[in-house]
Amino acid sequence: MNEPARPANTWHEILRQAFKDHDVRLVTYVPDNVLRPLIEGCHADPFFTTFPCVREEEAVGIVTGATMAGMRGVVLMQTSGFATLPNVLASLVVACQVPVVMVVSERGTLGEFNPGQAIVCRTMRPILDSMGIEHHTMTRLDEAAFIADRTIRQAFATRWPACLILSPLLTGGRK
Q: Contact residues for another protein (CB under 8 A)?
A: 26, 49, 51-55, 57-71, 73, 87-88, 90-92, 95-98
To another protein, the closest distance from the beta carbon of 6 in angstroms equals: 30
Residue 141 to residues 10, 12, 73, 114, 145, Cα–Cα distance (Å): 7, 10, 23, 27, 8
Query: Within 10 Å of residue 70's Cβ, how many Cβ atoms?
Result: 6
Q: Which is nearer to another protein, 43 or 174 (CB)?
A: 43
To another protein, the closest distance from the beta carbon of 91 in angstroms equals: 3
Q: Which is nearer to another protein, 88 or 152 (CB)?
A: 88
* Sign for the pseudo-dihedral over CA of 118, 120, 122, 124: negative
Q: Where are the alpha helices (DSSP H) in 69-114?
A: 79-82, 86-88, 95-96
Q: Which is nearer to another protein, 93 or 145 (CB)?
A: 93
To another protein, the closest distance from the beta carbon of 56 in angstroms equals: 11
Q: Concatenated DSSP letters for 133-163?
A: -EEEEE--HHHHHHHHHHHHHHHHHHT--EE
To another protein, the closest distance from the beta carbon of 25 in angstroms equals: 9
Q: Which is nearer to another protein, 1 or 54 (CB)?
A: 54
